[in-house]
Amino acid sequence: MKHKLTLVNVQPKTIQIPTWFEFNRLRVLKVGNNTQDAMQMLISKCPLVEKLKLYCRIEKLPEAHQFPPNLAKLTLWKTRLEEDPMPTLEKLPNLKILCLESWCFIGKDMVCSEGGFPLLQYLLLDKLYLEEWRVEEGAMPSLCHLIIDAAID
């Protein structure tokens, strides 16, 4: 019998999982239409997740240390974050692919700091309505694919 390694379309408004329970084999997680607390609790129960997609409106990203340590791919879609997500995301130590899509960030300015995103290879910025995106020298030293699809009013 094979173990389930992917959990997709998790959408209940509340999720009740015992404090002792973890999805110890889960590698892919897609979370949508959850409350902030339910989303954070679910992420904390999946310590080995390598690919994570959040497609729910959230007030604030979890702190960098609250994300799974092996996270290699992160997609944010329609999260409508008001605070620049880069100061948190650039600290994720194993992140190689980052997709920021369709109103995941509704602020006007984003900054990638020096030394941030040390392993990032692929970055997609899609429909973000940015006025300014600053990338400091030494940020994203491994980046080899950049796709910017600007939003058009």
Q: Which CATH number goes with the domain that contains 59?
A: 3.80.10.10
Which among 41, 43, 46 has a CA at the least distance from the CA of 26?
46
- The pLDDT score that the predictor gives to residue 39 is 79
Domain that holds residue 105: 24-149
Helix (H) or strand (E) segment spanning residue 134: strand 132-135
Considering the domain boundaries, does residue 54 fall inside one? yes
- The pLDDT score that the predictor gives to residue 23 is 67
Considering the domain boundaries, does residue 133 fall inside one? yes
Per the CB < 8 A criterion, the answer to whether 127 and 105 are in contact is no
Considering the domain boundaries, does residue 67 fall inside one? yes
- The pLDDT score that the predictor gives to residue 100 is 97
Considering the domain boundaries, does residue 19 fall inside one? no
Considering the domain boundaries, does residue 11 fall inside one? no
Considering the domain boundaries, does residue 99 fall inside one? yes
How many separate domains does the chain show? 1
Q: List per-residue pLDDT tens for the chain, 153 residues long.
A: 344 455 455 544 545 555 555 667 778 888 876 677 777 877 888 888 999 999 888 888 999 999 999 999 999 999 999 999 999 999 999 999 999 999 999 999 999 999 999 999 999 999 988 899 999 999 999 999 999 987 555
- The pLDDT score that the predictor gives to residue 88 is 97
Considering the domain boundaries, does residue 15 fall inside one? no
- The pLDDT score that the predictor gives to residue 14 is 47
- The pLDDT score that the predictor gives to residue 22 is 64
Backbone angles phi, psi at 117, to 5 degrees: 55, 60
Considering the domain boundaries, does residue 16 fall inside one? no
